Amino acid sequence: MQFRCAVLDDFQDVATTFGDWPALGDHVEVVTFTEHFAGEDDLVAALADFDCVVTLRERVPFPASLLDRLPRLKLLIASGMRNSSIDYATAQANGVTVCGTQSSSTPPVELTWALLLGLARGVVQENNALRGRGPWQSTVGADLHGRTLGLLGLGKIGALVARVGLAFGMEVTAWSQNLTKERADEVGVSLAPSKEELLASSDFVSVHLKLSDRTRGLLGAGELALLKPTAYLINTSRAAIVDQDALLTALHEGRIAGAGLDVFDVEPLPADHPMRTAPRLLATPHLGYVSRANYERYYGQAVEDIQAYLDGDPVRVLG
């Protein structure tokens, strides 16, 4: 029987152009899906006849209810080496091997700065005006040099964002529940006394925390109210860290200068979602991980994971 592999959420239809898929031979059939399956019934209908599924990041959850309905599934490959949306215990009980791939931290860092700079200098508004024969110069940009960049989280990504901020001549401060002065000193930034003080003193706030019970809803209406009316909020981490309704209210009422978002409560974002029309918002469709180098890792190593599994010696096993 042919070994069938499904690749989910290949929105750009490029998965098979990254990685040496032909090396798997004719006995492996690869089918890519360019549309997102939002419901479990749709996923079951699409994946029932596949032995292997390659999924991007944590966009598609694989809970017990889904895994139990895919009896043919034997190999599940997730991009990255950490995935909280997979029920590993059920996968193991059902004889499903879960493997990962390497992932780079630099693409989300670069996108963070694309959003921050785009907001600060009104790039989209000015570009649209220029190309649409609108006014010549309609915005006054916000400066970075000498301003304060507040980072919620100083892990691998947060530290790289901090170094860019320092290179711009910004004052960089950071906070998280477990952040120590030693870690802040190591990166060369200041440790904020509290989350509240970081929010109140920063001109730009960027979120770089993992989503957990402690960070879910970390920035609600009260926290957003602490931001200066001239401040910008950037979130390329997880949408649920920021109360989405509270953020929409702040944007519509002009309580903050703007927000840059790459993550949303529902992805892909529905056509009628209020974030699509929110004012003062610069948004991208979760592009943080989408780069050539990352796709070469994801799909190149997905091919390696499949071959290793078929050889009886799985690699990069998760769970």
Q: Looking at 57, 208, 238, 297, which residue is catalytic?
A: 238
Q: Is 267 a catalytic residue?
A: yes
Q: Looking at 126, 171, 197, 267, which residue is catalytic?
A: 267
**Total count of residues recorded for the chain:** 319
Sign of CA dihedral 64, 90, 10, 310: negative
Q: Is 147 a catalytic residue?
A: no
* Contacts for 241 with CB less than 8 Å, ≥ 6 apart: 152, 207, 209, 211, 215, 216, 217, 218, 219, 235
User: What 3-state DSSP class applies to 207?
Assistant: strand
Q: Is 316 a catalytic residue?
A: no
Backbone angles phi, psi at 228, to 5 degrees: -65, 150
Backbone angles phi, psi at 207, to 5 degrees: -95, 125
Question: Which residues, listed in sequence order, are joined to residue 174 by a DSSP beta bridge?
Answer: 151, 191
Residue with tokens 């098979």: 16
Question: Which residues, listed in sequence order, are joined to residue 54 by a DSSP beta bridge?
Answer: 7, 77
Q: Looking at 57, 147, 286, 297, which residue is catalytic?
A: 286
Catalytic (active-site) positions: 238, 267, 286
